[in-house]
């Protein structure tokens, strides 16, 4: 059975496993960051559970002014749950479940929840190889990012809700 729900503190270790399985080196969030994101803004931390096991998630924070290269924001410094702009930090599906359309299902559910919350835009950064995927989800390409998070080159994208 497939269930979408907000993350709970007990999910932090499993989310760390998934995060580190999907992101390279320093680009993966730490257990401390994941735990803080769940504690501070569980409404913005959507998990996908299949048969009782978390297999993927999307997490975010909200801001009045979006500065994608702001590394402090990844620790929710400057996060305001009432702000209109959503900033996604991770979109992750465990490797054994990739290629089954689960990231699309996660994104559709996430976008719907953000609309219901009255948010105006969703922003994210991705690697060049994922730009076309996010365009298929309805995001538009903005620009190369000033961020060098994890020593990688990132691209900024956004979606108006």
Q: What is the pLDDT of residues 94-134, one digit of tens each?
A: 999 999 999 999 999 999 999 999 999 999 999 898 999 99
pTM score, whole prediction = 0.93
d(C-alpha 152, C-alpha 139), whole Å: 21
- What's the pLDDT band for 149 if we cut at 50, 70, 90? low
Question: In angstroms, rounded to a whole number, what is the distance separating the alpha carbons of residues 105 and 4?
Answer: 10
> Which range has highest mean pLDDT (45-49, 76-80, 142-146)?
45-49
Give the count of domains, the chain.
1
Question: Which domain CATH number covers 11?
Answer: 3.40.630.30
- The boundaries of the domain holding residue 55 are 2-160
């Amino acid at each position: 059975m497939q269930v979408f729900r907000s993350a709970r503190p007990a999910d932090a270790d499993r989310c760390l496993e998934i995060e580190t399985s999907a992101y390279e080196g320093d680009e993966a969030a730490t257990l401390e960051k994941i735990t803080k994101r769940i504690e501070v803004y569980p409404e913005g931390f959507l998990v996908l559970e299949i048969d009782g096991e978390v297999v993927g998630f999307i997490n975010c924070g909200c801001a009045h002014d979006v500065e994608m290269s702001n590394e402090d924001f990844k620790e929710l410094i400057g996060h305001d749950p009432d702000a209109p702009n959503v900033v996604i930090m991770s979109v992750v599906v465990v490797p054994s479940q990739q290629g089954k359309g689960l990231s699309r299902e996660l994104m559709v559910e996430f976008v719907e929840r953000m609309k219901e919350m009255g948010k105006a835009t969703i922003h994210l950064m991705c690697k060049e190889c994922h730009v076309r995927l996010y365009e298929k989800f309805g995001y538009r390409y903005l620009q190369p990012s000033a961020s060098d998070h994890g020593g990688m080159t990132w691209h900024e994208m956004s979606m108006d809700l």
